[in-house]
Amino acid sequence: MIWVKKAKTLLEWLTHSGKFNGFDRNLEKVTLVSAAPGKLICEMKVEEQHANKMGTLHGGMIATLVDVISSLALLCTERGKPGVSVDMNITYMSPAKVGEDILITAHVLKEGRSLSFASVDLMNKATGKLIAQGRHTKHMGNRPPEGSVKKSNNE
């Protein structure tokens, strides 16, 4: 339950923290379905603001969803850090039309000492058809080895 609350709070902050004039306003329709350590499922109805001239979900919007939802999944781990993007790739497989509902599922694949890896699947909610799949690598800073953290003089 703590992961759901944390993910919901982060998503609400990201999508509803004030009036948006920038690109983040495109995320305001994303809602949380479920959260667990290292896994997040969200959904969104594709609207005109998310579409290209062909009336389908824009590739840049898909990339944004991969970036943001995988970062939120990384925040829902014991480490709880968003990291900095090092590499991201997306494979586009089928279109999502305006009016269709999509599911966005992010999985943390591995959290290493300095890098973390996540995958994201975007699927048509009604048909289960895979729309796109993304991979995201993030630099998390160096995690000190177990037992090597020095305590301050106050502890």
Query: pLDDT: is 144 or 141 the higher one?
Result: 141
DSSP calls for 100-141: -EEEEEEEEEEE-SSEEEEEEEEEETTT--EEEEEEEEEE--
Averaged pLDDT score across all residues of the chain = 86
Percent of the chain with pLDDT over 90: 62
Averaged over 36-50, what is the pLDDT?
A: 94
pLDDT, residue 75, reads 87
pLDDT, residue 124, reads 99
> pLDDT per residue over 97-143, tens digit each?
999 999 999 999 999 999 999 999 999 999 999 999 999 999 998 76
Integer Cα distance of 57 and 62 in angstroms: 7
Q: Are 66 and 109 in contact (CB under 8 A)?
A: no
pLDDT, residue 142, reads 74
Domains located in the chain, CATH noted: 1-139 (3.10.129.10)
Q: Are 78 and 37 in contact (CB under 8 A)?
A: yes
pLDDT, residue 76, reads 87
Query: pLDDT: is 19 or 23 the higher one?
Result: 23
pLDDT for residue 151 is more than 50: no
